Amino acid sequence: MNRKTIIMLCLLVGAAAQQSCNKKENTVMTSGQDNPLIAEWNTPFEVPPFDKIQNSHFKPAILEGIKDHQKDIQAIVDNKEQPSFENVIAAIDNSGETLSKVTTVLYNLTSANTNDELQKLSQEMAPTLSEHNDNIYLNDALFQKVKTVYNQYQITKPETLKLSAEQQMLLDETYKRFVRSGANLSAENKDKLKKLNSELSVLSLKYGDNLLNETNNYELVIDKKENLAGLPAELIEAAAEEAKAKNKEGKYVFTLSNSSVMPFLQYADNRELRKTIWNAYQVRGNQNNGNDNKENVLKIANFRMQKAQLLGYKNHAEYVLEESMAKNPEAVNTLLMKLWTPAVNKAKQEATDIQALMRKEGINEDVAPADWRYYAEKIRKERYNLDEQELKPYLSLENVRKGIFDVTNKLWGLTYKELTNVPKYHADVTVWEVFDANKKTLGLLYMDMHPRESKRGGAWMTSYRDQQMENGKRKNPVISIVCNFTKPTATTPSLLTFDETTTFFHEFGHALHGLLSNVNYRSLAGTNVPRDFVELPSQIMENWAAEPEVLKMYAKHYKTGEVIPDALIEKMKKAGTFDQGFATTEYLAASFLDMKYHTATEEIKDDVNTFEINAMKEAGLIDAIIPRYRSTYFSHIFAGGYSAGYYSYIWSAVLDTDAFEAFKTAGLFNSEKALMFRKYVLEKGGTEDPAELYRKFRGADPKIEPLLKKRGLN
């Protein structure tokens, strides 16, 4: 997944620091120079002073940041000069720097390294921050100034105001942000909107906290070695180390982290245990306990609908998609349906193949979701003589990272230097200075690769500081990639599946979007683009991962250094479209579920399970597959930034496969194409219309045929 993802403490490096962060801290820290969040960040590259931040610093820093932001806004309102782009629009963009810094650290670390105190603080402060945001965008005096500048531009034409294209975009986006935030509503409706915003801000946090708790609370403990049959040695070793860490030495613990549960489902011979861990995985947040998310789902969906209708839209999807490349729900559904029928047809054939293999093994039951990955892996091995375990020794985390560095060096001349003198929020994190071809610093990159109980699942990119221009000088961004790849053990480095390898390439594509950004205004920088365009830089990077020429650059055996054999690459190529019916169908099913919740025009009164079942029946999903994310653990849409936007991965897939055709035709590392992609996509952020940017790079609109071919759906 990606960016401003909405994410989020601090664990200091070293045992003593770790203890100080984990204990309860009730002391209220003073603001100003005594609070490291507010004081000047005299750190290398002005990164957050993670080694000094304590839980108790956040609340006073937020309150201080709100005061400072209010002063900034009031100064704009009180300015007696004629409203202009600089004293209104640019001033708004530059306002609230302290608050932005503090909340960015809080929410990033609440996702990557949280604890009970920080989760509680986030929920406590959510209504306050929501109210502060509303006080800005519903400030009529401020809006009138924005409106004055906007109308000047509309009436007197761009050439008279002498705004650059980027300034024009910032003006348009600022005006729309006020209108879409309710600036034109009556006083009564503004109050209704404020209440809805406050409720939603808390509900999304509760949803995410419940999901994290559900994931952390489950353990599959195995004490009989015969029940480990079929599992790879490194997974067994990781489970033994997990057990040891949980004071269960001599046993084996499997968790609901993807790096644990997914290979268990793929390889464990014991069908009953596969069913057990699968059931635990797919009922997260749906168990009528203290972490149940069903009520949160309905409230979030219904409140979003009410908010959209208050603002003059039929439903939440219409509200969201107005600011996307798709523009409306009809365009989204048209794309999804173009892919749905061929994907389901292929999935049905895949299910038939699995059923036949199960019958051979004497299992006369229908294919169940818990069976799919196990038997698909058997068929892959039988049909293509390809066992994913053959690949993993060539895909150590270090080698894949070096491969990514080499690819980006060949494309754009980027180089990387690991830093050891920079504050980090956890000992697992590495920090890299990124240089362009002229050895000039582009930015800093944090990488946090392994799962832990303080981190939510999945993979994402975010930023601690977006790129911007300050006094005519580029202020370098601070970007972070967070993943959940298998930890190294005492005898084996972190070995990735090929799917995890492409995930690393994917998130690095997002990081490039942030690092190579070259705009003037922070709100338009990097990944601040429409949701269905933001995945283009990430997904196009995945294409290089599978190219034979690139595989030979990075896929080297962790013990011998042997380059991946041609025969193994050939087997990968032949199996390239294998199981794509399943992969595409489970993804599309989740996209349909997202749209079903967010195209509702009346309050959803069904319970969540009934709603979900009916939505999947309506779509025509087969029983052997469930949506990639069920409602109660669909954090992308209920605790992230992808509501009415989960479709964007497939929308961007059309873009990325079409765009990669340009490189396939001209050469994988063609300097001209690389320069154009950097110039028109990676550097531009949200400064121009994304469809126009794509046409500038590609010379034409994207075609869907390359995607159908890549997935074997044509």
156 closest CA partner among 230, 215, 258, 85: 85
- The pair of three-digit structure tokens given for residue 393, joined into one six-digit string: 């020794």
- Can you read off the two tokens belonging to residue 258? 């993807």
HEC string of 657-709 equals HHHHHHHHHHCCCCHHHHHHHHHHHHCCCCCCCHHHHHHHHHCCCCCCHHHHH
Q: What is the dihedral of CA 125, 130, 136, 138, to 10 degrees?
A: -150
Whether 507 is a known active-site residue: answer yes
Where in 190-307 does DSSP place strands (E)? Answer: 220-222, 252-254
For residue 60, which of 102, 119, 110 has the smallest C-alpha distance?
Answer: 102
CA pair distance 313, 79, nearest whole angstrom: 34
**For residue 579, which of 389, 713, 419, 399 has the smallest C-alpha distance?**
713
The two structure tokens encoding residue 485: 């790849």
Distance between CA atoms of residues 38 and 15, nearest Å: 25
CB neighbourhood size of 628 (10 A): 17
Task: Give the separation between CA 644 and CA 85, rounded to whole angstroms.
Answer: 32
Catalytic residue among 433, 507, 535, 586: 507
Return d(Cα 246, Cα 364) in angstroms, integer: 39
Q: How far is CA 605 from CA 295, 307, 608, in A?
A: 11, 17, 9
Q: How far apart are CA 406 and CA 414, in angstroms?
A: 8
Q: CA distances (Å), 556 to each of 411, 518, 524, 560, in order? A: 21, 35, 40, 8
Q: Which one, of 228, 263, 225, 260, lies nearest residue 245 by Cα?
A: 260
Residues facing 434 on adjacent strands: 416, 443
| Cβ pair 73, 40 in contact under 8 A | no
Tell me the residue length of the chain: 714
Cβ neighbors of 358 (< 8 A, separation 6 or more) are 364, 365, 367, 371, 375
- Separation of CA 599 from chain center: 23
How far, in Å, CA of 514 to CA of 681, rounded? 11
Look up residue 567 and give its two tokens. 């025969």
468 phi and psi angles, rounded to 5 deg? -165, 170
Alpha carbon separation from 504 to 162, 456, 497, 564 (Å, rounded): 43, 17, 11, 19
Distances (CA, A) of 259 to 113, 450, 588, 592: 18, 9, 23, 26
**Cβ-proximal residues to 54 (8 Å cutoff; 6+ apart), any chain:** 10, 20, 21, 25, 29
Question: What is the token pair recorded at 602?
Answer: 């009346």
Please give the C-alpha separations between residue 198 and each of 128, 142, 566, in angstroms, as whole numbers.
8, 21, 57
Which residues make beta-bridge pairs with 435?
Answer: 415, 441
Calculate the CA 278 to chain-centre distance. 24
Cα 581–Cα 214–Cα 261 angle in degrees, nearest 5: 40
H/E element, 422: none
**Catalytic positions, please?**
507
